[in-house]
Amino acid sequence: MARAVESSGRPLSVSVTLLNESILGGALMDTRELSVKKSFGDATIPLSEVAGIRLATAEDAMTTVVMLNGDAITGATDIQQLVVETEWGTATIHGTSVGSVTFVPELKWNSLAGLNEKRWTLIDAKKAEPPAPVATPMAETPVNLQNNVRYPNGTYGQPQVYRSR
């Protein structure tokens, strides 16, 4: 049986998104680094330093690797297969079926328009989502805005009459 790749004594957790948008999560098995061909030469990147990999597709000619420190590297890579230990067993995924791999669960892919092509970044999924509207019960009696007064703190309300005794 394959053994999980360890980073700091823990299995390297991954979320693999396939081209059909299916997602597999688990521990990455037997893969420790990624080779990327750049115009200036080849680079070997330890996966323990990677936040995510967005593989080349028909629309995007280059693979984007985003590092944990936020740096991004683009180039060509040839992932033959990924082996992921899931809850239900070991999954062997052909590289041609992989759309992206993320190593940080809170992150999601975001595309930006670049000079020559689309540029991929990873953003915090929690911060990217607009806050959900808070449901508030409607007042039982409608407010008559004609008689309301604006107070110095910016709120509105009915004028109050205070009587001294």
What's residue 12's pLDDT? 87
Local confidence band at 151 (pLDDT 50, 70, 90 cut-offs): low
The pTM of this model reads 0.68
Of residues 60 and 152, which shows the higher confidence score? 60
What's residue 154's pLDDT? 58
**pLDDT-above-70 percentage for the chain:** 68
pLDDT tens profile 49-59: 999 999 988 77
What's residue 117's pLDDT? 67
d(CA 146, CA 131): 32
Using alpha carbons, select from 73, 94, 86 the residue that is nearest to residue 28. 86
Local confidence band at 97 (pLDDT 50, 70, 90 cut-offs): very high
Average pLDDT, the chain: 77
Q: How do the domains of the chain map onto residue ranges?
A: 6-128
What's residue 150's pLDDT? 59
Tracing tokens 């936040």 back to the chain, one arrives at: 51
Length of the chain: 165
What's residue 68's pLDDT? 92
Q: Torsion angle, CA of 110/13/35/3, rounded to 10 degrees?
A: -160
- DSSP label at 19? T
